Amino acid sequence: LSLYSSPARETKYVENPQTQLEEGVSRLRHVMEPYTAWWTELIDSSKVKVDSSLCSDFFSEGCEFLQNPPAGFYPRLGVIGFAGIVGLFLARGSRIKKLVYPAGLMGIGASMYYPQQAVSIAKVAGTQLYDWSLQGYIAVETLWKDN
């Protein structure tokens, strides 16, 4: 016996016969083929229309941004999304926690990557919060004076 060669084997491929289930599925696929082709054609044509109308009219900047994102955009997006998932995991118990924790952690994650935008959003949110609190104070004061 040689150490480097192996005896030639003669193999033959034998196809298993189809079962009744396989034959039934095959018949069903052949019967449904015109309908699935029609449905696929309908979806493809509507998808082209929707994509062209959305990207050309209203959301052209967003579509272009997502098609050509800046370097490192998707990893940043992943970290911010993961922060939201961690917030959902940590928010056990009340419904308020389930709203506050994910939003807070996602906000912290986004502010780490986009500090200038976070400062501008915080300024606008601060002025809005001040305005709302002032309106609430005035409403309570008028109710107090009426009584």
Cα separation, 122 vs 83, whole angstroms: 19
Q: What is the pLDDT of residue 71?
A: 87
| Each residue's pLDDT expressed in tens, for the chain with a length of 147 residues | 566 677 677 778 888 888 999 999 999 999 999 988 888 888 887 776 665 655 555 677 777 777 888 888 889 989 999 999 999 999 988 889 999 999 999 999 999 988 898 899 889 999 999 999 999 999 999 988 876
Q: What is the pLDDT of residue 18?
A: 86
Q: Yes or no: say if 105 and 88 are a contact pair by the CB < 8 Å rule.
A: no
Which tokens is 126 given? 């601060």
